[in-house]
Amino acid sequence: MESFEHNGHASRVVFGAGTLSRLPDEVARIGAARVLLLGGRSERAAGLLGPLAVARFEQVAMHTPVEVTTRALDLVREHDVDCLVSIGGGSSTGLGKALAARTGLPQIAVPTTYAGSEMTPVVGETADGKKTTRSDPALLPRTVVYDVELTLGLPVRLSVTSGLNAMAHAVEALYSPQADPAVDAFAQDALARFARSLPVIVERPDDLDARSDALAGAWLAGICLGTVGMGLHHKLCHVLGGSFGLPHSETHAVVLPHVMAYNAAAAPEAMRRIAAALGATDAPAAVHDLAARLGAPGSLEALGLSAADLPRAAALATAQPYPNPREVTAEGVSSVLQSAWRGERPGASGRRPDITWLTDEVVASFAGAASPRTAQLLSDLVRRLHGFVADNDLTEHEWQAAIDFLTRTGQLCSPTRQEFVLLSDTLGISSAVDLLSNSRSPETTPSAVLGPFYVDGPPSVPAGTDLAEGLPGVPLRADVWIVDLDGQPVPDAVVDVWQSNQDGFYDVQLPDIEGPVLRARLRSDTDGRLWFRSILPSEYPIPDDGPVGQMLRATGRHPYRAPHLHFMISAPGFRRLITQLFVAGGPYLDSDAVFGVKEDLIVEFPAAADGTRTVEFTFRIAPLEDHHD
């Protein structure tokens, strides 16, 4: 059983494209009227703020030198400033924090890189060749305005190193002593976003979707940085930047894989999560290879650090204790610095052979695919499958057993049985795809999985038809309305309905039944209404006499589905809705075998005076233009 403490820091966040235009409103929101603009890219902001911008300071510098802060502080006093607006990377944000620490003024941060410092209550300042940090919730910017369009002008090289810098925040958060489920989720999401967006940015710097993905990753990584304490990586980068003048993001890009290799054996779960997020098998090597592939600098030597400086850097980095998965020793840090100075590729952690080269070869083989989407999907699939094989040290016997399982699954598929759909359903994959594809319009009726028993082209019947055709069971009357998002009726909607009998079987499972029963196609009238008679659906087991049932028994799971009616609703100009209505109070609602139950689809089926059960439901469907690919 896990235990943790979570200390979150709240900033107002405005995220999107063109959001810089909202800057005057954000200044007004905090009640300010005299703004000092910080940063060298503040022309547009000055134009938007007009008379609110009473002064500008453009001479920001890396590592926030105290002498620069002093000059900016003179402007604050001279112009009676009541608000700081920093535009740029971590240097601009850091200067704003340093001024806030001295004046108590509120800060609005407008990041144009992926530094992430805008989401932290920490500032690092340099004086007399040493960089020191302070942490105070009052240093956190009051508002952060993320405008994706501002990152379009970020040079590719800086985009890469800034992104790798943000990835370092996420990496160290995963093995921090203060990590918790929220931090883990943010960190893994951030890593995955950068792994897929940075290669696109290198190829197409003006790709707004990739830029948005990276900026959202920076936000998530920044939250991680502000929530937990950091370890050896950030300490080393502060030393190398503050005491040796190395460029900030480039230093992070070089050092990160080497610190990861140092910590790998002491943080195996964190490394597994990092590798999974990157679609790789060995986390340190994967980060090194990603940086190299993106054209990031490869060594501290290339950044201008002298080999003669390495002993002093190691001494400074070990002068004070700080949390880190592996004990920080002078010898250990010296080895990390030596490896980073030479730019060596970290070896695969542990004794397992490195298969990254094989993964890269397979992925490269998809480069000639006619469809970029096909190449992307296959590449991601291969990386994840290779990662699964390596992470679990899969044996030949285990893999052969998996092949046999899939073979038997395919052999059971027929026109009346779809064992692969069952497998997808019972692993939750069908529900996951359903959620991603159909849950982006919250105003519509929730969707649900199709299931393996739908048959295309059911018989068309008029309203009022008894779909049970005399089969035993509790009589049911269903009244259904189809409406659009404004509540207006949708006439002539095609509605396919299907269900099991009272024993839990569909007609395709009963060879003695001739023709379809308990399934039909109806159309809504001019009021969007239709109704039919049937029998109350029952809970039922999915077919468990094949490989899927074997898997369920091996994992201690039952095969039962909660009682439900299936609906497929189509109408010209509208998105098709596939869904189910579940009987309130029925069994297995909290343990449905295919994870298909959604709270909004659990419906009362009350009994009428004659014992007939009834159900009334209004389905809301969305127009085609509301669909998000």
Residue 245: give its domain's CATH number: 1.20.1090.10
pLDDT of 628 = 44
Alpha-carbon gap, residue 112 to 119, rounded angstroms: 14
For residues 48-61, give the mean pLDDT: 93
Considering the domain architecture, whether residues 452 and 522 belong to the same structural domain is answered as yes
Residue 341 and residue 267 share a domain: yes
Q: In this structure, is residue 160 part of a structural domain?
A: no
Contact 115, 92 (CB under 8 A): no
Residue 606 falls inside a structural domain: yes
Residue 146 domain flag = yes
Q: Which positions ≥6 away from 91 have C-beta within 8 Å?
A: 60, 61, 62, 63, 64, 248
Do both 308 and 369 map to the same domain? Answer: no
Question: Per-residue confidence at 8, pLDDT binned at 50, 70, 90?
Answer: low
Q: What is the pLDDT of residue 627?
A: 47
439-443-448 Cα angle (round to 5): 40
Mapping DSSP to helix (H, G, I), strand (E, B) and coil, where does residue 53 land?
A: strand
The verdict on 297 and 398 lying in the same domain is no
Cα 491 from chain centroid (whole Å): 39
In this structure, the answer to whether residues 476 and 514 fall within a common structural domain is yes
Q: Phi and psi for 13 in degrees, rounded to 5? A: -120, 130
pLDDT of 266 strictly over 80 = yes
* Residue 50 Rama label (left phi>0; alpha psi -120 to 50; beta): left
Q: What is the pLDDT of residue 9?
A: 66
90-94, 387-391, 530-534: which range is least confident on average?
A: 387-391
Counted domains in the chain: 4
User: What integer pLDDT is reported at residue 120 of this predicted model?
Assistant: 86
78 and 192 in a common domain: no
pLDDT(587) > 50: yes
* 74 domain-assigned: yes
Residues 402, 335 within the same domain = no
CB 232 within 8 A of CB 116: no
340/239 Cα distance (integer angstroms): 14
pLDDT in tens, 144-197: 999 999 999 899 999 999 999 999 999 999 999 888 899 999 999 999 999 999
Q: How far apart are CA 558 and CA 13, in angstroms?
A: 45
Do residues 325 and 274 lie in contact, with contact meaning Cβ atoms separated by under 8 Å? no
Q: Are residues 471 and 392 in the same domain?
A: no
**Mean pLDDT in residue range 528-553:** 94
**pLDDT reported for residue 133:** 79
Average pLDDT value for residue range 100-123: 92
User: What's the rounded mean pLDDT across residues 2-21?
Assistant: 81
344 found inside a domain: yes
Domain-embedded: residue 200: yes
> Nearest-CA neighbor of 534 among 562, 498, 510?
498
Classified as helix, coil or strand, 136 is coil
Give the pLDDT confidence of 387-437 residue by residue, as tens digits.
888 777 788 889 999 999 999 999 999 887 889 999 999 999 988 888 877
Please tell me what DSSP assigns to residue 23: H
CA distances from 102 to 40, 96, 276, 534, 587 (A): 22, 10, 43, 75, 63
What distances in angstroms separate CA 557 from CA 568, 590, 592, one per listed residue? Answer: 29, 13, 10
Which pLDDT does position 254 carry in this prediction?
96
Which of 136, 151, 166 is where one domain is finished? 151
Same domain for 137 and 194, yes or no, is no
CATH number, domain with residue 589:
2.60.130.10
- Give the model's pLDDT for residue 509: 85
**608 lies in a domain?**
yes
Cβ proximity of 558 and 551 under 8 Å: no
Answer yes or no: are the C-beta atoms of 339 and 285 closer than 8 Å: no
- Domain span including residue 553: 429-626
Q: Residue 138 burial by CB count (10 A; 0-12/13-18/19+): exposed, middle or buried? A: exposed
Angstrom distances, CA of residue 166 to CA of 108, 113, 214, 416, 424: 20, 10, 9, 51, 35
pLDDT band, residue 350 (cuts 50/70/90): very low
- Whether 36 shows a pLDDT value over 90: the answer reads yes
Structural contact between residues 109 and 93, judged by C-beta atoms closer than 8 angstroms: yes
Asked whether residue 78 is assigned to any structural domain, the reply reads yes
Strand partners, 480: 530, 617
Closest CA to 225 of 126, 302, 111: 111
318-328 pLDDT, tens digit each? 988 888 999 99
Whether residues 470 and 380 fall in one domain: no
34 and 135 fall within a common domain: yes
Give the residue among 546, 266, 556 at the shortest CA–CA distance from 405: 546
Q: Which two tokens stand for residue 145?
A: 């305005």
Shared domain for 280 and 363, answered yes or no, is: no
pLDDT at 57 over 80: yes
What is the side-by-side strand order in the sheet with 53-57?
12-16, 143-147, 107-111, 83-88, 35-38, 53-57
Residue 124 three-state SS: strand
Those residues whose C-beta lies under 8 Å from the C-beta of residue 436, and which sit 6 or more positions away, are none
Provide DSSP, 497-535.
EE---TTS--GGG-TTS-S--SEEEEE--TTSEEEEEEE
Listed in order, strand segments (DSSP E) in 444-507 are 475-483, 494-498
Q: How far is CA 388 from CA 266, 381, 591, in A?
A: 21, 10, 27
Beta strands 475-483; 494-498: pairing state: unpaired
Tokens of 563: 């009682």
* Token reading at 276: 């999974």
Q: List CB contacts of 50: < 8 A, sequence separation 6 or more.
A: 24
